[in-house]
Every structure is written in structure tokens, then in C-alpha cells.
Amino acid sequence: MPTARSRRGDRSAAWWSMSPARPGREPPGGGKNALMDPKNAVALVTGGASGLGAATARRLAGAGARVLVVDIDEERGRALAGELGGAFARADVSDGASLGAAVDQAAALGPLRIAVACAGVGWVARTVDKTGAPHDLAVFQKVVGVNLVGTFNLLRLAASAMAKVEPHETGERGVVVQTASVAAYEGQIGQIAYAASKGGVVGMTVPAARDLAPIGVRVMTIAPGLFDTPLLGLLPAAAREALGASVVFPRRLGDPAEYAALVEHIVRNPYLNGETVRLDGALRMQPK
């Protein structure tokens, strides 16, 4: 049964929704320039030539942002940038100089306010395989280097560039969106390197948001479930259907456009900060 306080709270919410607008008063969460509009901002998307990154680049360009597509696949990256009327930079996210040049290129296009980290790699190997051999250390370092170090590399460089742009009236300068995975929580057998790298991305989210609050930069992370990306496209149709059927609802693979839609919402919603959002149709991964 609702308490007196909750009933009063309900009436308060109803008052805001039903009362006419009055000069000098704004509903909670409102206010001039409360939302960050992607229009006329520059957005940098790593891993932007395909999959989640390409969908995000398209979505942000459609919202009016000027997009810099960053990828190691130069042919596909340049083609997408041309399609969107944006620009392309070839960069390895795990390399400071390479990605730094890309961030400088983005900042030269206009106010860099949006950075989305979609570059990532995966690998399947157990900590100790069936023959007793240990996991290849170089492979583990490579996966962590791209997925975790590469994400941090973008975070630090993009935030530094955002610190130099003029803030909105709300004090916000920009937002960084990171990509983790549900494997950060329920890594499957053979996903030790991938799960560790994505768990690190989740772990960075809150301290990064706290670090960057003084300069008005928000940090959010999306943890996707099973999405219909080029990586899954390599599987047979039957295997893809089985994966989709394992999702609670809707019983299908995620559409990269759904990831991109969440990115746009995060950009526009100024109260989303320091959180990881699972985008997985209520999926909980089983051991295998």
C-alpha cells in the first residue's frame, strides 16, 4: 500500500505534468539547453567501419553530427565516411600516436563532443586447454590491449580534446560512450581474455565519470548481448538462429541499429553518467 509520502510524491509529479507553464519555472530535469544535441557537433567513432560502429556512425550523422570514422579497415572506412559526408582516419586504438592523430583530426573539424569506442577483438581459448597447455600470453595481451587499453586510450585523448571546447550553458562539454559486453558479467568457457577486457571497461566507467566531472564530460558504457554483427555473420544460419533463440525477449539477435539508438539517447540525455547499461533482451549467458 502506498505511504503518505509516496502519495504526496505522486501528486507532485502530477502537478508538474498538468499545471500550465509559468515564467521562470521549469519541470524537474528541464531547463534551457538541458539536452546535448548532436547537431553541429563532431563525433568520433572507433571501429566505425562495420558492425556496431558503422551503425552508430550512421545514426549520429543522421542526427546532424559530423562523423569521423576511425578504423584499421581503410577501404570500408573511407567508403562509409564518403557515404555520410564525414571523414576517415586510419588508426590503431591501442597506439597513442596513431589514435592521437585521429583525435586531433576530429577536433580540427569542429567541437568534438561525442566519442564512441566500438573497436574490439575476440579470441576463444581456455586458461588451460585439454592438452594441458596454458593460454597464449601474447593473445591475452592483444585482446586486452585492443579492448581495454584501446578504450582507455580513446577516453583519455577524447576527454582532453573535449576539455578545450566551449561548454554548454549546463556546463557539459561532451560524452564518451564505451562498449563492454555481457561477457563482462557472464564470460563463457573460452572467453577468459575477452571477458577480462570487457570487465575492465565496466570497471573504468564510474571512476572515469568522477575524474571527468570537473570538466563537464560524461562517461557511459553499453554492454551488448548477442548482436547481428559481421563476426556472427561467419556462423552457419542454424547456429545464428540458435543464438537468437537463447535471448529471453525478443527472441532474436540484436540489431546494430538498436545499439546506435541507445548511443544517441545517451548523448542527448544529460543525466546518464557513470553507468553501464546492458542491452541484451534479458539474456544471461550460460557457461557454454
Active-site positions? 194
Query: Residue 17: what are its φ and ψ, rounded to 5°?
Result: -80, -30
Residue 196, classed as helix, strand or coil, is helix
Beta bridge partners of 42: 66, 112
Residue with cell 583530426: 105
> Are the C-beta atoms of residues 112 and 173 closer than 8 Å to each other?
no
Give me the DSSP letters along 53-82.
HHHHHHHHHHTTPEEEEEES-HHHHHHHHH
Beta bridge partners of 44: 68, 115
Residue 222, classed as helix, strand or coil, is strand
Residues 161, 113, 70, 40, CA torsion sign: negative
Residue with cell 577536433: 107
- Give the separation between CA 145 and CA 97, rounded to whole angstroms: 15
